[in-house]
Amino acid sequence: MWRKIRTLLEMIKFEHTIFALPFAFMGAVLAARGIPEARTSLLILGAMVGARTAAMAFNRLVDLSFDAANPRTQNRPLVTGEVRPGETWAMILIASALFFFCAWRLNSLTLKLSPLALAILLAYSYTKRFTWLCHVFLGLAIGLSPLAGWIAVTGAFSWEPAILSLGVMFWVAGFDILYACLDEEFDRKVGLYSIPARFGRRRAFAISALFHSLAFGLFVLVGLLLSLGWIYYLGLTVTLGLFIAQRVVISPDDLSKMDLSFFTFNGAISVVMFLATVFSLIF
C-alpha cells in the first residue's frame, strides 16, 4: 500500500505543491496581518493539497496518449501501468471532496467560488490543444492561490491580493514557457500548442523574460500598496537574483540544467517571498 501511495504521489509530482502553497499562505498572512489561526491554516492547507492533487491527476489522465508518445514522459506511472485509470479517478474524486470540504468549512464565499476554482484548474489540461496561451492559463490557475488565501481568512474580495495573484500568474507563465522548450519539437509534431512551438525557443525565452519582469513589478506594487517593510524588499532582491540565475544556468542552446532552473529556483522563489512577507509583518 505504501508503495502505491508513493507511486501516486510521484505521478502528480506532489513535491511541486511548493510552487503554489507558499503564495496561498502569503495571501492568508497578508489578510490576517500576521499568522492566521491554526484552524484556518489547516483548512487552507487541505484545500490547496486537494485542489492541486485533483488537477494534476486529471492532467495525467487527459494527457495519457501524449505522454505515451513523448520520450520525455514515457516512464510516468499511468503510461507504464503502475497506476490504473480507475485508481486515478478515485484519487481525483477523493482530492476534490477534500477541497470542497475545506472550502465549506472556511466561509461561505470560499464555498461559492470553489466550483469555479476547480473548473479552472481542470480546464487547463485541455488548453494545449487549442491555444499557445496555455502557459498564461496555467498561470491563472496557480495564480488564484494568493487571492484564495486572502478570501479564506477574510471571506471577502480585495484588489491587493488580486494584484499579487496577477504577479504569480506571470511568474508561473514565465517559467512554464521555459519548461515547454523541452517539448518544442514534440508539440509541433503532434499538433499541440505552446509558445516555444509557435515562436521558437529564442523568442520564447524573450517572452518568458517579459513575463517575469511584469511579475517582479507587480510584486513590488503589492509591497507598496500593503505598506510592507524592508524585509519584504530584501526578499524581493533575493527573488530578482533567482530570476536572473534561472537565465544563467539555461539558454535557448542549452537546456541541460532545466531541473535546476525550473524546480530548485522556482521553489526557492515561492518560499523566499512567503518568508519575507511573514517577517516583514512580524518585525
User: Across residues 88-115, what is the average pLDDT?
Assistant: 97
Domain that holds residue 63: 2-282
CA dist., res. 158 & res. 24, Å (int): 15
Instruction: Give residues with Cβ within 8 angstroms of 261, minimum separation 6.
Output: 175, 178, 245, 246, 249, 250
Give the pLDDT of residue 7.
76
pLDDT digits over 33-59, tens only?
999 999 999 999 999 999 999 999 999
Report the domain count for the chain: 1
Give the pLDDT of residue 166.
98
In this prediction the pTM is 0.95
Judge whether 143 and 26 are in contact, CB under 8 Å. Answer: no
Give the pLDDT of residue 13.
74
Give the pLDDT of residue 14.
65
CA dihedral 165, 166, 170, 176 (to 10 degrees): 40
Judge whether 182 and 204 are in contact, CB under 8 Å. Answer: no
Task: Look at residue 16 and tell me whether its pLDDT is greater than 70.
Answer: no
Give the pLDDT of residue 260.
83
pLDDT digits over 140-158, tens only?
999 999 999 999 999 999 9
CA dist., res. 131 & res. 3, Å (int): 37
Q: Looking at residue 243, which CATH number applies to its domain?
A: 1.10.357.140
